[in-house]
Amino acid sequence: MAIDRYQASARLLDRAKQVLASGVSSEFRKYNHPHAIFYTHGRGSRIYDVDGNEYLDFTLSQGPLIVGHSHPSVLDAIQAYSEQGQLFAGQHLKEIELAEKLCELIPSAQLMRFCLDGSEAVQTAFRVARAKTGRPKFLRFEGHYHGWLDNVAWGISTPSAEALGSREHPQAYPWSGGLSAHSREEFIILPWNDIELVRQTVAQHHAELAAIITEPVMCNNGCIPPEAGFLEGLREICDAYGMALIFDEVITGFRLGLGGAQRYFGITPDLSIFAKAIASGYPISAIVGKREWMEEIETARVIHAGTMNAGNPTVAAALATIQVLEQDPLTYDRMFRLGRKLMNGLQEAAQKADRPLLVQGMGPMFNTAFTSLTRVRDYRDTLSNDKALLNAFIAGLHDRGVRVIGRGLWYISAVHTEEEIDQAIAVATEVLASL
């Protein structure tokens, strides 16, 4: 059945491969089921492919589409503001309005700069932290994804548990060929969620550490909340040694609330990165932070630039997305409630089917893995996931019209309905019974 369902996509993929390296424009798009899929359109919580298949979409395009596909208010705002121009190589009013709004919403935001995507905003944060502290390195954590550029393309995936090395001195396996050897010298890496290990390591290496960067919820390998006291501990350590605490809120930003994970957990970082969900699929990210750190950019001791930054359509998309999310004060309650309902439904369905499914996360985003563990705490724990079983589960859902990110991550949008959650649970129940 699966092959017939995807014939038109398969033909287009063959054609695409002649001119696009492996047929795609981002590595992750290859890992769809049963191969890269070509889509025609998306509306609300649904997306449609060239074979005419309809999917209930829980990928939300890897996170950005928090108000669903083609939200009319977002499209109207983009059209209206783009008619006045697209890019001025200069300033415009809505850019201030967006920055003012983000300052109001995000606890750590006193000054910001707009970029195009999460990867480059992360690099800007490193540059700021290095310039202010005069120290060369940053500390980061296994399994955390901070973009695809050299100094963070290590320790994201590993060929085996052995290749990770010891917890105290991890190996950081390279994710790509062609990484500069120097990029491995830019960071120290540790398992996540172990504050004592961070304390010991920083006590030893603080003279060379400019920053600690973390996803406040580890969303890129599992969907792992911080242990009680972990983020607080990072805050204390950074304060004690004059290091920047950087929250990479590319996923958590707007997903745990409009103030990001920092408002949700009540921990204020020095610098943070927002991208994905802030603009409904338009390319904009923000590095935001406390004035004492961001003044490195303000005074031009640190240079940040970009021809395409903060163009009219992207800024209009961000403002409209925020407006939609703010319109109904119950939006986030609903996303949390529907997410938790789906999590519970999946867990119950797995119990009935006697499958060791672990559903872990926050609600608006959560992860499904096949493991006998009842909780995963760091990247090393996630290696217990039975990937073959997960792939069969994701493929089974996909063949029945439910689209989930291949590594098991689910996103809830503001436009998913109660009935759609029930529908997803019913489909998952059928798939789990068939595995």
Residues found near ligand PMP in the complex (CB under 6 A): 62, 117-119, 122, 145-147, 215, 220, 248, 250-251, 275
Tell me the closest approach of the beta carbon of residue 276 to ligand PMP, in angstroms.
Answer: 6
Q: Would you state the structure tokens that stand for residue 149, as one six-digit string?
A: 């550029």
- Nearest to ligand PMP of 9, 220 (CB atom): 220
What residues does 113 pair with on adjacent strands? 287
Tell me the closest approach of the beta carbon of residue 71 to ligand PMP, in angstroms.
Answer: 20
Nearest residue to ligand PMP by CB is 118
Give, in order, the Cα–Cα distances in Å from 81 to each of 286, 307, 318, 414. Answer: 20, 19, 12, 24
Tell me the closest approach of the beta carbon of residue 125 to ligand PMP, in angstroms.
Answer: 11
What residues does 271 pair with on adjacent strands? 246, 289
Tell me the closest approach of the beta carbon of residue 84 to ligand PMP, in angstroms.
Answer: 26
Tell me the closest approach of the beta carbon of residue 215 to ligand PMP, in angstroms.
Answer: 5
Tell me the closest approach of the beta carbon of residue 168 to ligand PMP, in angstroms.
Answer: 25
Cα angle for residues 318, 330, 231 (degrees, 5° grid)? 70
- Nearest to ligand PMP of 139, 431 (CB atom): 139
378-413: buried (b, 16+ CB within 10 Å) or exposed (e) per residue?
Answer: bbbbbbebbeebbbbbbbbbbbbbbbbbbbbbbbbb
- Nearest to ligand PMP of 248, 381 (CB atom): 248
Between CA 379 and CA 269 the distance in angstroms is 23
Between CA 188 and CA 152 the distance in angstroms is 11
- Nearest to ligand PMP of 57, 420 (CB atom): 57
Nearest to 241 by CA among 266, 211, 270, 216: 211
- Please report where in the chains the tokens 């501990």 appear, as a residue: 233
- Nearest to ligand PMP of 261, 425 (CB atom): 261
- Nearest to ligand PMP of 47, 122 (CB atom): 122
